[in-house]
Chain A
Amino acid sequence: MGAGAGESKETSGASERTPPAVKATPGGWGSSLFGSTAERNAFLIVAAVILVLFPALLSPFRLGLVGKYLTYAFVGLGLVICWGYGGILSLGQGVFFGIGGYCMAMFLKLEASDAVSTAIQSTPGIPDFMDWNQITALPLFWKPFKSLIFTLLAIPLVPGVLALLVGAAMFKRRVGGVYFAIITQTVAAILSILIVGQQGFTGGVNGITDLRTLHGWDFRGDHAKQILYFANAGLLLGATLLCYHLTRSKLGRLLLAMRDKEDRVRFSGYSVASLKTFVFVFGAMLSAVGGAMFTLQVGFMSPSFVGIVPSIEMVICAALGGREWVLGAIIGTLVVNFGKTFFSERFPELWLFLIGALFIAVVMVFPNGLASLRRETLLRAWSNFRTRLKKADLPGSELARSGLALSEGPLANATGTEKK
């Protein structure tokens, strides 16, 4: 990782204590991956909370809820890369989450409906909802899901290919922004209508329920749920590291450049369409993994996680975290969903007001979301304020202030440089 411009402006732990003029030198292990020791520490804290604190403090029921939220965080991570970095807002992430989840659910359902346990059906050996809908043979597209290996491959690949098709078709024709958002939203609508309408093949509104075992391992008990929680958390933290790596790499910087001044990147010889397609596919695959983990932890999959509303809710999670803060996706998802659970248990009528206000506030008042609460950002704001107070003191302070303005995170970085 070279010492690029963006990197040296990123404040590190050392420079926080003596802000402006000191040039940031990455310090401590892992800071080349995270950008700064503060960021690394934040990651470690979040990891500790997820891996130690939650399992130690929460009842199995609550832990299951947290596990469910954490599967949404995969979608949030995908959105940070796709939307925060790439500037592509997809309102159809629920599609990929859903397909991933349905792939997993189809495999589990087939395993749960062997000939013995479905002997009372008129056609034993097929899922119960098919029997209820007078279907007498397993549909062709269900058959490969008898194999675990196929399923594990299908979970990322089917959504990936779908995203590739949609993304390539749209981005090659330079369709982006709101049109892309509307098209993806329509895709979400189509898929949820299709799933609800084709009851015999998909389980309809109820979804695919009554899942029992994964390759012979009963995953319904408390202990099994705990194992799944840790597996999920591990996967999520791994995915987070991957996203950190992506954002700190040359690709990450290219994405930011593309988001802010697409034409310049294009004229520099990069294929903007391929970059966009890549991040869209990446986000889709992450969401699909989340969906599959969701099915495993919650024990069912239904179309209510596919349509427009869940897709947009996932966007607000990423937005609350701060759309370009990787770790923020996890924190935002946890906060939004804790809030949702809390309010729908106590004051259900308040929740829509709150989430609606959150949408508006996150756009109008704090576009950086929770990321603006990061220590370095706060410190920067504080020293900004202090510099303003002693403006007249030093001849060099003007210079220092402009240096500060530049270092307000990637967004200010890119736009700030643009203005010059």
Chain B
Amino acid sequence: MNLKELMSIAVMQGFNGLSASCVLLLMALGLAIIFGQMGVINMAHGEFLTIGAYTTFGLSEIAQRWAPWLQKTYFIFAMLVAFVIAAAVGWVVERVMVRHLYKRPLDTLLATWGLSLIMQQIFRSLFGAKEVSATLPDWLMGSFKPSDSIDIPINGVLVMVLTLVLTTALFLVLFKTRWGIWIRATTQNRVMASAAGINTAKVDSYAFAAGCGLAGVAGAAFTTIGSTGPTSGSLYIVDTFLVVVFGGAQSLVGTIASAFGIAQTQATSEFFMTGSMAKVLTLLTVVFILMLRPQGLFAMRVRR
């Protein structure tokens, strides 16, 4: 093995780690609003991801059957539709259920877990228990080859770009718009915010819907890297929560850093041991650090 090969391995390994951290971050973005900002434990977050993925699958089927000319572009629409559908479902859930439980976080956890079970069964009844995958447009397949030994898949690049765009957008919305000020004001001091004339109930439902919508987009992006089944969303839920908690719940920067850290640890250790042991090692490290530093990496206050 010469130096060049080693370099290529390092590049590909680095890309894999980066790609994995983008996936984690993409999943965690929605939760960073819902859990990080609003403090709501939404155990059904993974199912909103699945909604996005199934939406993409449905649209790809439609495009294939009735509108072949959309074949190349449907994916862009799919992400938008996924956002809208997931956000709409999220809005209803907030209105009907989560709204009444803001003061009882542990109960929210149980109720949303129940919701996730129901949603999984709905997916199973609608789409069957078998995993499905969307037919991807040609331009998403294949890979870059900057040199003969380096091979970078395009769908990985797409996920990365999407993560970058969404994260930037979320930052801008939260810190540069009036809407973002409302959210931050409501989460930091609800009473003062409503005294200042902010309709906190409305802010709550829009924030929750936006978080769910983000999960939907993440789900759409996931169809490019894996197939979708009724329970695929729930596989991610622990990781996603851990990313947000580890980063420090209220800090968006923390979420980014922890997604990166967790994914890199996992990707690097996967190089030396089996996948499951790498996962165990990563989770153990995170839990251990959280025991020593419960407020997470970038926290503002002690958690209660």
Contact = CB atoms under 8 A, between A and B. Distances in A.
B224 interface: no
A173 B289 CA distance: 13
A231 interface: no
Interface in B251-304: 274, 276-277, 279-280, 283-284, 286-287, 290-292, 294, 302-304
B109 A349 contact: no
B118 interface: yes
B277 A197 contact: yes
Q: For the complex of A and B, list the 8 residue pairs with the smallest distance between their C-beta atoms, beginning with the closest.
A: A359-B114, A197-B276, A356-B118, A356-B117, A352-B121, A169-B291, A356-B114, A175-B294
B120 interface: yes
Interface string B163-193: 0000000000000000000000000000000
5 contacts: A173-B294, A190-B284, A353-B118, A358-B114, A359-B115
A182 B110 contact: no
Contacts of B290: 183
A186 interface: yes
Contacts of A364: 97, 100-101, 111
A187 interface: yes
Nearest to B108: A363
A360 B112 CA distance: 7
B105 interface: yes
Given A173-B294, A182-B241, A359 B110 contact: yes
A197 B280 CA distance: 9
Interface residues of A, number: 43
Contact of B121 (A179, A187, A319, A349): A349
A178 B104 CA distance: 10
A183 B304 contact: no
Given A176-B304, A181-B106, A356-B115, A187 B294 contact: no
Contact of B110 (A173, A349, A362): A362
B125 interface: yes
A228 interface: no
A89 B302 CA distance: 19
Chain B, interface residues (CB within 8 Å), range: 35 or more
A355 B106 contact: no
A247 interface: no
Nearest to A194: B280
Interface in B196-245: 238, 241-242, 245
A193 B106 contact: no
Given A187-B287, A190-B283, A360 B109 contact: no
A194 B276 CA distance: 7
Contacts of A182: 41, 241-242, 245
Interface in B72-114: 97, 100-101, 104-111, 113-114
A87 B16 CA distance: 42
A178 B97 CA distance: 18
Contact of A175 (B104, B106, B303): B303
Given A190-B280, A357-B118, A349 B125 contact: yes
Contacts of A198: 277
Contact of A170 (B111, B125, B291): B291
Given A356-B114, A360-B115, A174 B280 contact: no
A281 interface: no
A360 B97 contact: yes
Contacts of B106: 89, 177-178, 181
A360 B43 CA distance: 12
Nearest to B44: A356
A174 B117 contact: no
A384 to B, nearest CB: 23
A331 interface: no
Q: Is the interface of A mostly helix, strand, loop or mixed?
A: helix
B101 A196 contact: no
Contacts of A197: 274, 276-277, 280
B108 to A, nearest CB: 8
A315 B304 contact: no
Contacts, number: 117
A301 to B, nearest CB: 19
A181 B284 CA distance: 16
Interface string B125-167: 1000000000000000000000000000000000000000000
Contact of B114 (A169, A170, A177, A357): A357
A193 B287 CA distance: 15
B280 A193 contact: yes
Contact of A174 (B101, B241, B304): B304
Contacts of A104: none
A193 B105 CA distance: 27
Given A174-B294, A182-B241, A364-B101, 4 more contacts: A177-B304, A319-B110, A360-B97, A364-B111
Given A187-B287, A352-B117, A363 B107 contact: yes
A186 B282 CA distance: 11
A27 to B, nearest CB: 36
A316 interface: yes
A166 B110 CA distance: 22
B109 A89 contact: yes
A312 interface: yes
A5 B124 CA distance: 52
Contacts of A405: none
Contacts of A91: 109
B50 to A, nearest CB: 14
B109 A355 contact: no
A236 interface: no
B110 A363 contact: yes
Interface in A134-179: 166, 169-170, 173-179
Contacts of B245: 179, 182-183
Contact of A359 (B117, B279, B286): B117
A174 B302 CA distance: 8
Contacts of B118: 352-353, 356-357, 360
Interface in A308-340: 308, 312, 315-316, 319
B238 A185 contact: yes
Contacts of B274: 197
Interface in B23-66: 41
Contacts of B108: 363
A91 B117 CA distance: 16
Nearest to A355: B117
Contact of A352 (B120, B276, B284): B120
Interface in A355-383: 355-360, 362-364, 367
Contact of A186 (B124, B238, B304): B238
